[in-house]
Structure 1
Amino acid sequence: MTYQKLKGTADILPGESEKWQYIESSARDILKQYQFKEIRTPLFEQFDLFARGVGETSDIVSKEMYDFYDKGDRRVALRPEGTAGVVRSYVENKLFAPEYHRPMKLYYIGPMFRYERPQSGRQRQFHQLGVEVFGSKNASVDVETMLLALDLFKHFQLTDLKLVINSLGSNESRQLYRKELIEFLEPHFEELSKDSKDRLYKNPLRVLDSKDKKDKEIVKGAPSILDYLDEDSKEHFESVKRMLTAMTIPFEIDTNMVRGLDYYNDTIFEIITTNPKFGANATICAGGRYDSLVEEVGGPSTPAFGFGFGLERLILMLEHMGFDYPVSSLLDAYVVTIGEAVNEEAAKLTHELRQNGLSVEREFMSRKPAKQFKTADKLNARLVFTIGETELKERKVRVKDLTSGLENEVDLEELYTRFSEVYPTLLKSLEKEGE
């Protein structure tokens, strides 16, 4: 019997995994500048956490969740997104306690799971980078977090980016808008898609988020939610716009943007690429404010703001633009072996070099020296340590600098016992000879 990976999953092989490592490492550096700390939560949680937090009418809960009953007859789900689990952890571990700095800035990088149709840049197991900020209602939190998202993409030299914002207002103002939106949509009920018909009375704002072409045409004439904001929400949104303008950050307002998760309120945003290679106005990052979710999950009233984006889509974009990933030459030395008798000494030499902080690879396949040197060159090794039966008898090792082509000999015992003196002298002699 042969086995294959499941539909919607991918193997990240050597050669590709280095790209992921570079992206994650670069992102962590930027997140550190913004003083975000990493949090790691379980891959599965109670089903109800996502149903309550994300919203039962969302596509994620109603169609895409990987949920099942475990051996204890508990209904659990693989996490479809990161925010609900982070909020649960924030509440359970009492990270709102006075001894913790506020606002608390957290980030995560890891796999998520959604049962949806696999397509380019979107898998059933995918990886997401997300951030969450807890504890401040200040509109500058909204702006700073959106700027962080933009900085992350700009670091990878992505251009053709557009920041789109909207406000969903408070829960109270949204109820007024909800009533008006239902009245607007009811005359078009028969024209709506099946999903939108199902959502009309449960969560009519989700109709604005429909991808159905007929639905999109209908909602073009829908009333604007911005006309229903209460004074606090209106001032909050005005403050966001003023700060973005003051910092000369271009942005657009889309009054039909509502996001696909039910927990948002006030400021929401998307970062869209206008590059035609990725489709018309493709969303690559999204988030917003969710001031009620912590309380929903059992914690104290806590304002919060966050965003998330998929790493697969980012990597796909970088591939299309021909991004030049930095090539890191991590291999300090390659140990070439000649003859079976040197196997044990080669193992010892390799170990000693690594114990002294060098990155080392050695020959295991007993190939001819010429092939071993080709491998060392392919791996961008700085030095080649060659040990054959003659060197073994004389207790020496030959060292070649692959850049200059020059060689030198080193006494093995001295290298083992006085590495900190012998190795720098060796490098210096090769450099001196090469000048």
Structure 2
Amino acid sequence: MAPKITVIGTGYLGATHAAAMAELGFEVLGLDVVPEKIEMLAAGRVPMYEPGLEELLARHVAGLPGSTGRLRFTMDFAEVAEFGDVHFVCVNTPQKHNEYACDMSYVDAAFDSLAPLLTRPALVVGKSTVPVGSADRLARRLAELAPAGGDVELAWNPEFLREGFAVQDTLHPDRIVVGVREAGGSAEKLLREVYATPVAEGSPLVVTDFPTAELVKTAANSFLATKISFINAMAEVCEAAGGDVVKLAEAIGHDERIGAKFLRAGIGFGGGCLPKDIRAFMARAGELGADQALTFLREVDSINMRRRGHMVELAREAVGGSFLGKRVAVLGATFKPDSDDVRDSPALNVAGQVHLQGGQVTVYDPKGMDNARQVFPTLAYAASAAAAVAGADVVLHLTEWREFRELDPAELAGTVSVPLILDGRNALDAERWRAAGWTYRAMGRPRA
């Protein structure tokens, strides 16, 4: 008989994982402590934008027309403990206030709420991104609190979701990492059963110990952040030397040892994962006495944050040295396309800095407007890209949505005050915009 699955925490990660487990054929019960979130999910709606997730959810939520009925939601930990054989913990691990370290309070609360109710054999699986060493500590906590004692096991199964591709990444992962106490033991066997479908389709399953599983996620994010900051550092050098970072990236990207992905220079990375994960990694390395091993991540973080200020400088220079009285259109508010996530968004950060320096800023984003308004309610917001750029003295392209790449520059040229665009993502067709009469500038590229 197939194991029954619970998912504790139904945010971005948890909602996706719950819907995907139902799609793979399991009975699933999702838990959250926020009533409004549970109400939305039970109605087949998601509290964030993620392509394909709402459709997947509606296909399985019990009580919806035509659904399989395999997915339900609750706020009751006792119901979760009684229902599930495998409990996935998918709660948030934000950065501590005024610290680099990871805030484990949500993870600890989830374990403390669930463990005392586990009166029969169960597997608890951590998916949250945590400091190395957390799994060992939580395994001891489970053994202390669970009435079933040794019959309750822990495994660590980090997530590798990309916002905008989360459904695909869950159903067809490029790898599955499982950290267990004992290779070949019952925890591994149960997770092989849970992930049997993607493994059969070719997804590799890597079995490790607890520390390695925890380190895989932070190491992967740190490597990705380093690659992004490297090409942005090269953009700084290109600007100083008169080089073209786009051609440079193309050339080094042909080297199979380097690869072409994530070599697009721009205003840097943001979001709820990369920035806080590399900072938490540095903090944990310091606690372990290995801080010198990760000192390079401080420069990675510094380069990334510097890019935002550099875009503000470029924009200020482009409008004559001062934003006072200047209309600035900002295309993009989310930290990346195909998401409504504005957490630590470089685009919104730049928009806010320009506004604070006196610019009249109007923002448009295809999906992130509501979230952006909550963060920066004093900015102006437009209902379309065309409305945002109307009368603008400069247009800043800061999130590489497909909609922005497909804009007609000739059509927009007649609506702006000055046909000047700064491409903060090096994603627009420079020749197409210049041919339409625009002055096009981008980070790390020569001026025409």
What is the TM-score with the length of structure 2 in the denominator?
A: 0.23
Structure number with larger C-alpha Rg: 1
What is the TM-score with the length of structure 1 in the denominator?
A: 0.24
